[in-house]
Amino acid sequence: MPEATKSIWEQNATPRHRIQWCPGCGDFAVLNALKAALTTLELTPSEVLLVGGIGCSGQIRNYLNGNSFYGTHGGALAYALGAKMANPELTVLALAGDGDTLAIGVENFVHICRRDPDITLVIMDNGVYGLTKGQDSPSAGLGKPVTASTEEHPPFLDPVKLALVCGATFIAQSFSGDPKHATQMYVEAVRHKGFALVNDFSPCVTYNKFNTYDWFREHCEMVPEGHDPAREDGAWDLIRDFERRGRLPLGVIYRHPRERVPHKRLPMSQAELEQVDLEPMLQGLR
């Protein structure tokens, strides 16, 4: 991949924002895979909106050139939907963590799956709240034997199963220890016409000492070539087969685009724009 082409996603980003992730964090590989995917898709920064969630993962938008938005905890998908409704031509990516998406933001996740807007969500899934010192997130407990749960430590929540139940039309998994494969998953997700989820296993090297890179390498397995992702029954069969064998599927688990009526830009009256002074905003971009 030409370095000059890739560098367009780094201009005005990395020099201004010191990367604050811990050395070895899986989010570094997600960042590199995302740059490679956007370059493969031949998208320029002006064509893309990056919506960050709250947490370590949400910082990723600072390290990529282009338009970005940082909202409240759990709100990444809601803001992404609003942006897509206002400007359907934008390529909108929500970049969030498992705690952000599956705890306070789970209601947005459920209804985005149902509504199926043309948005891509990448979850950087590490099972902990890394920004607030490693408390369990809803996806904590991956691979651990089920014991008596408490209100503070309820059972593991699987984003893939939840997305499938709620009607998502594209569901894939990747592992930041294999950025080349992750790049492929991001490309396929963005090209999908509808809501696309990529759940990326992105190890937290500071607080999650169980789900390490070595653990994921031992337990992850590629989706078999013969798998038909267009069948919902086939997706469930795949998930259950991997579950029985104590393995995690990497690849496209489900892909079945819906019949769609093209979205139109939200109506905006001329009167709303008459008093808007764009000069201060434009001045900051010159």
The 10s digit of each residue's pLDDT in 8-50 is 887 766 556 678 899 999 999 999 999 999 999 999 899 999 9
Cβ-contact 174, 203 below 8 angstroms: no
Range of weakest confidence among 113-122, 150-159, 182-191, 250-259 = 150-159
H or E element in which residue 249 lies: strand 248-255
DSSP 60-121: GGGGSSSEEEE-STT-HHHHHHHHHHH-TTSEEEEEEEHHIIIIITHHHHHHHHHH--SEEE
* pLDDT greater than 70 at residue 266: no
The model's pLDDT over 172-184, given as tens digits with 9 standing for 90+, comes to 999 999 999 999 9
Residue 282 has what pLDDT? 80
Q: Does 185 score more than 90 pLDDT?
A: yes
Structure confidence at residue 114 (pLDDT): 95
Average pLDDT, the chain: 89
Is residue 201's pLDDT more than 60?
Answer: yes
Q: Give the C-alpha separation, 101 to 109, whole Å.
A: 7
* H helices, E strands: number in the chain: 11, 10
Nearest Cα neighbor of 173 from 163, 185, 187, 161 is: 185
pLDDT reported for residue 26: 92
Is the per-residue pLDDT at 1 higher than 50?
Answer: no
> Which position has the higher pLDDT, 114 or 55?
114
Percent of the chain predicted with pLDDT > 70: 92
What is the predicted pLDDT for the residue at 3? 53
Q: Which of 129, 111, 123, 286 is nearest to 207 (CA)?
A: 129
Distances (CA, A) of 9 to 60, 99, 125, 209, 260: 12, 27, 23, 32, 31
Asked if the model's pLDDT at residue 232 lies above 80, the reply is yes
Token pair listed for 7: 């560098």
β-strands 135-136, 128-129: how paired? antiparallel
| Helix or strand (DSSP H, E) at 274 | helix 270-274
Q: Are strands 128-129 and 119-125 parallel, antiparallel or unpaired?
A: unpaired
Tokens matching residue 40: 């493969």
Q: Which domains does the chain have, with CATH numbers?
A: 3-142+153-285 (3.40.50.970)
At 69-115, the pLDDT tens digits run 988 888 899 999 999 998 899 999 999 999 889 988 899 999 999 99
pTM for the model: 0.88
Residue with the two structure tokens 């199926």:
116
The better pLDDT of the pair 142, 11 is held by 142
Q: Residue 32: phi, psi to the nearest 5?
A: -65, -40
d(C-alpha 178, C-alpha 254), whole Å: 20
